[in-house]
Chain A
Amino acid sequence: MNEAAGKGGSVEAAGGAVAECPRCGAPLAGGVVDGLCARCLGALNFDTFTRIGGAADEEPHAVPTVEELSEFFPQLDVLSLIGRGGMGVVYKARQKSLHRHVALKLLAPERAGDPMFARRFASEARSLAALNHPHIVGVHDFGEAGGYFYLLMEFVDGVNLRQLIESRQLSAEEALEIIAPVCDALQAAHDRGIVHRDVKPENLLIDRNGTVKIADFGIARMMDEPAVEGGLQAVSDYAAMPTLAVGTPDYAAPEQRVSAPCDHRVDIYSLGVVLYEIITGQRPGSGQITPPSRRAVVDMRIDEILLKALQEEPDLRFRTVAEFRERLEEVQEQIGRKSPDQERRTWWARKRPLAVVTFAGLMAAVVAAALVIKGQPNHEGGPPSSEMSEEPLLEMESLEKAYQAFEENFAALQEARGIQIVGMPDGGNAPREQPEVVKKLEARDRQLRATILRMSKGRD
């Protein structure tokens, strides 16, 4: 480190007595270091005694505007800011050459120019790009621009699971439709040695066709310090990236929270938290975990699966995500076999005590019980269950036809809700009458449910 002691600037005092520091205004009595006022340079250190590592050490993170970005990404029309999180900022953009929408993710402005980070970023980005899977958000390109590292990714037009579960309850089959492909995608990645490390509802995107895609694969690792090289890290560096060092706390596996070595089984844990949340509406928290069946109407075998995925000790979890998925499907089948036809579709129902009571008061006990067990989800939690019985029933040729109609309507309803939440597929705002459209579809949804209920009751 010493060969350049005299190479750069030099230490000296101001010649004569004329020069004054433009900042402190004092004559440069303390001298000049490399052209800088020594007093002010010293003050910078003084200043930091309270600041190093402290909250005050952090500058607020401003986010580039769409206009600012255009200069640095001439190949894109940057359209709008669509998200920001601990890992970066995401914009919707249009790739001029290919006339397609893309998602532009900006990361780590504090790493600009860092050659080691650049290498790691490039190597991670390449392996992500090679991770070609229908249920993983694709990486088209990556690079460094304007002081940011960026990823150009497939644009998923839809909602994330967080938005979905906050807008309504999911039925069992919907949940499985989401979880199963997520398992497949995670398994495919794990087979290539890539661990997500930040599985959470915000990172599970559902497009307008209902296809699930995992976003932000490997970003957590990219931003993290590799454990082998880490060694002694400056305290302030940790402080600078509190959310980056580990996954999102509520979903992070115990070993991630304490920065212990971790492998693909952290994803199994996080996925367990996600499924637990879909079923019960709550996250399991740490320590003693309440079995999901105590929080929602759910088969005990689901308890067993989730408690296994959520084991503190990685060795006690499922060995692979594939195993997790197989077990879920097995249980689903077992439940299905035991129950008559349409009940096969469901394996839990969210506990809704008030609705259940009202409902029981109005309907025959048998029907009420059947409904609760079958767990026909009552979307929106809005209309009281009693409304169901008042729906004008539809004439259907057969139960199968009724199911078909229900599914078609349900798909349309999902689409309509998607538009209501995120706007039109082309990026435009939702039509003003969209709430009406959703309402109509919901009404039909209720009618069809009631019809199916009546028809299946007739069968019993």
Chain B
Amino acid sequence: MTNAFRTHSGEFHTTRWSIVIGAQGHSAADVNASVESLYRQYLSPLYAYVRRRGYSPHDAQDLTHDFFSRLLEKGWLSSAQPDRGRLRTFLLMAMKRFLANEWDRAKAEKRGGGSQLVSLQSEEGERLFSANAAASSTVPDELQFDRNWAMVLMQTTLDHLRREYERSTRPGDFAVLKSCLTAERGGIDYPVIARELQLLPASARSLVHRFRRRFREIFRAEVAGTVSSPEEVEDEMRALILTLGQR
């Protein structure tokens, strides 16, 4: 994308659904970059979910790897049509089914280590799992999966925003502006930010405002990529954010 600050939804948000559908019939070995992105984004919550179901780290790693391989190879996705609903729900359902029916058979067929990609993501997933375990053991597994999913989407959003700033003429602004995301509107000290960023105070206000707005735009676009119709975006956003508020 050429302009770091313009939203062309088509530019950065290739819908996850289109990745899912486009990946059908490919083996995990020759997954293209877009499928890889699907792995990266959604493996950690799935991994953490599997761990929460009582599997060892090693098994969880194998399991998530196999899950994705099956997902791609076995045509589970032939029915992954755009009217399929939320990707989050779809993946969790598929994983549950896999755990119930497929895993034992798969394990019997072969025992192989996960790919490097999977081990990378399982590190992240392991971190999620242990953090979840420490913070709230009473939370149902499904809710925890949704929570993790929401956090991963927000992380993706922040990463996206960070890269936009890396490409801008003021790359240093990101770290300072990031801290304004969770501040109360009235609680942002613009003069301090202006000094830190070498800006006029009026301009600092404007930049903070734009930064917050940009976060919302990207997050929204990310969510939009995981639902099958534009009407579902709002609902999905609400649902995700609600999961974070429940204890």
Contact = CB atoms under 8 A, between A and B. Distances in A.
13 contacts: A7-B159, A11-B152, A11-B155, A12-B131, A30-B244, A41-B181, A42-B154, A59-B206, A112-B203, A113-B5, A115-B4, A232-B9, A233-B8
Nearest to A52: B216
A147 B196 CA distance: 12
A5 B40 contact: yes
B213 A236 contact: yes
Contacts of A23: 182-184, 187
Nearest to B125: A11
A69 B181 CA distance: 27
Contact of B131 (A15, A27, A44, A236): A15
B151 A38 contact: yes
A225 to B, nearest CB: 8
B108 interface: no
Interface in A324-344: none
B5 A111 contact: yes
Contacts of A229: 3
B244 A39 contact: yes
A223 to B, nearest CB: 14
B79 interface: no
Interface string B217-247: 1011000000000000010011011011101
B168 to A, nearest CB: 4
A146 interface: yes
A175 interface: no
Contact of B182 (A2, A41, A148, A225): A41
Given A7-B159, A31-B131, A116 B199 contact: no
Contacts of A141: none
A55 interface: no
A21 B181 CA distance: 13
A114 B203 CA distance: 13
Interface in B154-196: 154-156, 158-160, 162-163, 165, 167-170, 173, 178-179, 181-184, 187, 194
Given A147-B197, A147-B203, A233 B209 contact: no
A407 interface: no
Contact of B4 (A37, A38, A46, A114): A114
Nearest to B161: A8
B132 interface: yes
Contacts of B245: 30, 39, 42
Most A C-beta atoms less than 10 A away, residue of B9, B37, B181, B240? B181
Contacts of B178: 34-36
Contacts of B136: 13, 29
A145 to B, nearest CB: 8
Given A45-B237, A57-B213, A61-B206, A29 B5 contact: no
B215 interface: yes
Contacts of B169: 113-115, 118, 144
Contacts of B247: 26, 29
Given A44-B212, A110-B209, A112-B207, A72 B159 contact: no
Q: Which 9 A-B pairs rank lowest in CB-CB distance, beginning with the nearest? A: A147-B203, A13-B131, A113-B170, A234-B7, A2-B37, A147-B199, A40-B182, A30-B244, A109-B206
A5 B156 contact: yes
B134 A33 contact: no
Contacts of A33: 151, 154-155, 158
A40 B154 CA distance: 11
A389 to B, nearest CB: 57
Contact of A234 (B212, B217, B238): B217
B12 interface: yes
A6 interface: yes
